[in-house]
Amino acid sequence: MSPRHFLRDDDLTPAEQSAVLDLAARMKADRFAHRPLAGPRSVAVLFDKQSLRTRISFDAGIAELGGHPLVVDTQVTHFGRGETLADAGRVLSRYVAAIVLRTHGDDRIAEVAAGASVPVVNALTDGFHPCQLLADLLTVRERCGGTAGRTLAYLGDGANNMAHSYLLAGATAGMHVRVAGPAGFAPDPAVVGRAAEIAAGTGGSVNVLTDPAEAVKGADVVATDTWTSMGQEDDGLDRITPFRPYQVNADLLGQAAPDAIVLHCLPAHRGEEITDEVLDGPCSAVFDQAENRLHAQKALLTFLLEAATAAPDAAAP
Ligand code: CP
Ligand code: NVA
């Protein structure tokens, strides 16, 4: 039996996602009371790409759980060079209780997971950013009183990791998810199809649009992200001009629900995808959202490690 991994948002069922968010809220309320990694058990946190929030929130969170974080930039290791990623996952599983990885293609994290006998967690890939979505959903719960039935409009690059994760995780949480971006920047149809399938079971819905006003109309949550994700800096596409109508500014926000909140996973490019006025304004939940990475990831690690304990075969090398 394989360990439970968290490679995509739909690796948690609606009930499991809800349980992780419940636990995250409890951990936030009593921050230093939960120590499931006491021993300490170690967790490897590996970065093929840059990070600020993910790196520090996992490092601090693992320590708060009583564990020992091993935060490593893979460029200074043999990871992915001279041995297969599956072999690396297999070896690391002999040392640590879980592997957290930020990398490029989703095929890379899948290969690590294929070799690993401990849980593998996606800390951002080109395709998905599921830990971020747990933090976002915790924030929506806090600010909007729940997720089910709420409408979330994501504006910007519909083809990036955040758009895909909003579709899958939002549908799992019973939300109505609208993704709006310029032509040529639409989400992967396979992800849209999977999100629609999930939404059919949770009472949510998914819509892919090009009109930003239609997307934000009456929305409870307005979310955006950079127009140029890591690794896309030299892709030759114009990532400014076609995106300008999707900027989250006061005019656009005025068309959302009167008490709408604004999310941005950060780092924000002020004056591009979001204005100062919105990011620093009363609707912004962005800095709570950033804090919630810590609580959500602590809960996720606890959930995955409990699942591994419940299925002892999973830990066998
Ligand atoms: N939101 C997020 O993942 O930030 P970092 O890239 O700084 O980790
Ligand atoms: N879409 C962005 C998210 C950064 C947290 C990126 O991949 O660079």
pLDDT digits (tens, 9 = 90+) for 99-128: 999 999 999 999 999 999 999 999 999 999
Kindly give the distance from the C-alpha atom of residue 161 to the centroid of ligand 2, in angstroms, as a whole number: 7
Is 53's C-beta closer than 6 angstroms to any atom of ligand 1? yes
148 and 47 assigned to the same domain: no
Encode burial over 306-317: b for 16+ CB neighbours within 10 A, e otherwise.
eebeeeeebbee
Q: Which ligand is nearest to the CA of 59?
A: 1
Identify the pLDDT of residue 311: 61
User: Residue 2 — very low, low, confident or very high, per pLDDT cuts 50/70/90?
Assistant: confident
User: Could you give the angle at the alpha carbon of 163 between the alpha carbons of 199 and 122, nearest 5°?
Assistant: 90
140 and 47 assigned to the same domain: no
Please give the torsion angle defined by the CA atoms of residues 180, 185, 190 and 191, in that order, rounded to the nearest 10 degrees. Answer: -50
ipTM of the complex: 0.99
Tell me what the mean pLDDT of segment 264-286 comes to.
98
User: Residue 80 — very low, low, confident or very high, per pLDDT cuts 50/70/90?
Assistant: confident
- Pocket probe for ligand 2: among 47, 52, 124, the residue whose CB has the most ligand atoms within 8 Å is 124
Rounded-to-integer distance, Cα 95 and Cα 43, Å = 9
315's CB contacts (< 8 A; 6+ apart) are: 3, 117, 118, 308
Q: How far is CA 311 from the centre of its chain?
A: 26
223 and 310 assigned to the same domain: no
User: Residue 315 — very low, low, confident or very high, per pLDDT cuts 50/70/90?
Assistant: very low
22's CB contacts (< 8 A; 6+ apart) are: none
- In a domain, residue 3? The reply is no
Tell me what the mean pLDDT of segment 59-68 comes to.
98
Tell me what the mean pLDDT of segment 90-99 comes to.
98
Other beta carbons within 10 angstroms of residue 279's beta carbon come to: 20
Spatial CA neighbour of 68 closest among 47, 90, 98: 98
Is 229's C-beta closer than 6 angstroms to any atom of ligand 1? no
Name the H helices within 94-129.
106-115
Tell me what the mean pLDDT of segment 193-206 comes to.
98
153 and 222 assigned to the same domain: yes
- In a domain, residue 2? The reply is no
- In a domain, residue 46? The reply is yes
60 and 161 assigned to the same domain: no
- In a domain, residue 235? The reply is yes
Strand partners, 284: 262
210 and 310 assigned to the same domain: no
232 and 157 assigned to the same domain: yes
Orientation angle between helical segments 130-144 and 161-172, nearest 10 degrees? 50
The mean of the pLDDT values for the chain is 96
Identify the pLDDT of residue 81: 87
Is 293 annotated as a binding-site member? yes
User: Residue 1 — very low, low, confident or very high, per pLDDT cuts 50/70/90?
Assistant: low
Query: Quick check: 131 and 54 in contact, CB under 8 A?
Result: yes
Q: Which ligand is nearest to the CA of 225?
A: 2
CATH number of the domain encompassing residue 309: 3.40.50.1370
The DSSP symbol for 259 reads: T
25 and 88 assigned to the same domain: yes
Is 230's C-beta closer than 6 angstroms to any atom of ligand 2? yes
- The atom number, within ligand 2, closest to the CA of 162 reads 1
Please state the length of the chain. Answer: 317
User: Residue 7 — very low, low, confident or very high, per pLDDT cuts 50/70/90?
Assistant: very high
Domain count, the chain: 2
214 and 81 assigned to the same domain: no
- In a domain, residue 169? The reply is yes
Tell me what the mean pLDDT of segment 287-308 comes to.
97
- In a domain, residue 86? The reply is yes
Query: Quick check: 69 and 62 in contact, CB under 8 A?
Result: yes
144 and 254 assigned to the same domain: yes
Position 312 pLDDT exceeds 90: no
The DSSP symbol for 10 reads: G
- In a domain, residue 171? The reply is yes
142 and 271 assigned to the same domain: yes
Strand partners, 178: 153, 207
Which positions are catalytic? 102, 129, 132, 225, 265, 293
- In a domain, residue 4? The reply is no
Tell me what the mean pLDDT of segment 47-75 comes to.
98
CA-nearest residue, atom 7 of ligand 1: 52
Tell me the CA distances in angstroms from 237 to 166, 241, 242, one per residue in order.
23, 10, 10
Q: Which ligand is nearest to the CA of 264?
A: 1
Tell me what the mean pLDDT of segment 188-201 comes to.
98
User: Residue 262 — very low, low, confident or very high, per pLDDT cuts 50/70/90?
Assistant: very high
**What is the separation, in whole angstroms, between the first and last Cα of the chain?**
11
Query: Quick check: 293 and 135 in contact, CB under 8 A?
Result: yes
Structural domain boundaries, residue 43 = 9-128+293-315
Is 87 annotated as a binding-site member? no
192 and 48 assigned to the same domain: no
